[in-house]
Amino acid sequence: MEVKLIVREVGAPPAAKPLLEDVWRTSVLSLGSSPQATLRLTGLGIAAEHVVLFEENGRVSFTNYGDGTRLNGLPLRVGDRRAITFGDRLHIGNYVVTVLDGNAPAVRLDDPRATGLLQSATRELFTSGLKFDLDSLLPAAFRSSGNQKSLEIPENASFAQILDALVAPEDRFRFVIEGGYQPNVSLSLPTGDAEASLGWEASGLRITMSERELATYCALVRKIGDQVTLHPVTAEHRLTVNDEPVTAPRQLTDGDRIRFASPLSRPLERPLPTLVFRAPTTLSILNEAVAAAPCPDPLPESRAEAASESPPEAGSPLRQVVEMPAPTEEDMRSQPPPAAPPAVAAKGGKTYYLGYFTGVELIMMVFGTLLGALVVYVILETL
């Protein structure tokens, strides 16, 4: 295989000079911190053999062996195997490695023939480290007081991922951990209708909702619309909500306190943590606004009938309806007969209409046509 690798630091603009740009012609290409690696990358979080590129069925593929690797902004797990499309970006530690076709002719970035290069550079310019400073769009009275970190959207993020990143933690359904070994840690539920597993990590000291880290499955959290339901798994976990045992699915409300037993048999230095369920802040504000709004008092049928039969109060304005009596035969005889329209004396002689035109109009049209034909004939004869 023949590939071209361009190495830059994370956050470097596309127009900046890369740290390394070279073409490799080999069957296997390894990237890592080992001195034996084909391309050695030094820094924190880089494994000795982090990524290995190879040719498979005429295409360039790679296998990931390190933590924190991302392909075009999407995270990869250890052991993942992917095919490379020229122009893809591998995030390894503090480096961004762009994989290009080594057989492609070298062209300038501003050359209109460099379609793939322009696309990759444009993508990096507009999506790498994209930040949203939403506070700058709000009036000073509504800006957040804390120093919040700007949102970072990964490359090639979908529209759903962008919306999910824009949602603040206080605008999600979440569990806030109190006590234990991870106090004040917030576990947020995914947006939309979803299910999440709740339990312990392998250490038995930390609560998690990540499927990859979950070792002891204690409860299932199901969210449909604005309703979040807690489902117990087995009785041995002693799942409780507000110190009440949960043996059937239970709908959670804001402020509910959830606890379940630890898988460890040995005594712990700290008490078991408590999960406090929190609803989105915007949802509670809307519920309070709806509750505070005055509801119209429906009028009972008996009161409505009484109101229709009772006489109007004095001094209230009334809409008066005057009924006119029907005309009698004597009234019709007393009315004079309708006068005939006045006769209009015709001026001049009779006028004859032939279709839609009078005789004078037809004579004028014939005369005009003959005159026009004569003019055209004279012009053609003189040419």
pLDDT digits (tens, 9 = 90+) for 366-381: 999 999 999 999 988 8
Pairing between strand 39-40 and 28-32? parallel
What pLDDT, in 10s, does the model give residues 331-374? 666 666 665 555 444 444 555 555 567 778 888 999 999 999 99
Nearest alpha carbon to residue 378 among 363, 365, 370:
370
Q: What pLDDT was estimated at residue 345?
A: 47
Q: Which of the residue ranges 12-21, 61-70, 273-282, 374-383 would you say has the lowest mean pLDDT?
A: 12-21
265 or 139, higher pLDDT: 265
Q: How many CB atoms lie within 10 A of CB 334?
A: 8
2-127, CATH topology level: Tumour Suppressor Smad4 (2.60.200)
DSSP sequence for 278-331: E--HHHHHHHHHHHHSPPP-PPPHHHHHHHHHSPPPTT------PPPPPP-HHH
The DSSP symbol for 163 reads: H
Question: Tell me, what's the pLDDT at 53?
Answer: 93
The residue that leads in pLDDT, 301 or 364, is 364
Separation of alpha carbons 90 and 74, rounded Å:
10
Contact yes or no for 6/20 (Cβ under 8 A): yes
What single-letter DSSP state applies at residue 107? -
Tokens of 159: 């529209």
DSSP characters for 38-51? SEE--STT--TT-E
Q: Is the pLDDT of residue 197 over 90?
A: no
pLDDT tens, position by position, 113-126: 445 555 555 555 54
Question: 221 falls in which pLDDT band (50, 70, 90)?
Answer: very high
Distance CA 170, CA 157 (A): 23
End-to-end CA distance of the chain: 80
Listed by start position, the domains of the chain span 2-127, 169-284
Q: Quickly name the fold that domain 169-284 has.
A: Tumour Suppressor Smad4 (2.60.200)
Give the other-Cβ count within 10 Å of 261's Cβ. 14
Residue 202 binned pLDDT confidence (cut-offs 50, 70, 90): confident
Token look-up 């076709």 returns: 101
Question: What pLDDT, on the 0 to 100 scale, is given for residue 258?
Answer: 93
Say how far apart CA 278 and CA 189 lie, in whole Å: 10
**Could you give the CA distance from residue 121 to residue 16 in angstroms, rounded to a whole number?**
11
Q: Which long-range contacts (CB under 8 A, 24 or more apart) does 182-190 make?
A: 182/206, 182/207, 182/273, 183/273, 187/275, 189/221, 189/223, 189/228, 190/164, 190/223
Q: What is the mean pLDDT of residues 10-30?
A: 83
To the nearest whole number, what is the mean pLDDT of the chain?
Answer: 75
Report pLDDT for 132. 46
* Three-state DSSP state, 21: strand
- What is the Cα–Cα distance from 212 to 204, expressed in whole angstroms? 15
Residue 171: which pLDDT band, with cuts at 50, 70 and 90?
low
Q: How far apart are CA 191 and CA 161, in angstroms?
A: 10
pLDDT of residue 233: 84
Q: What is the pLDDT of residues 41-91, one digit of tens each?
A: 888 889 989 999 998 888 899 999 998 899 988 889 999 999 998 888 899
Q: What is the mean pLDDT of residues 230-251?
A: 89
**What is the per-residue pLDDT for 11?**
77
Q: What is the mean pLDDT of residues 31-42?
A: 89
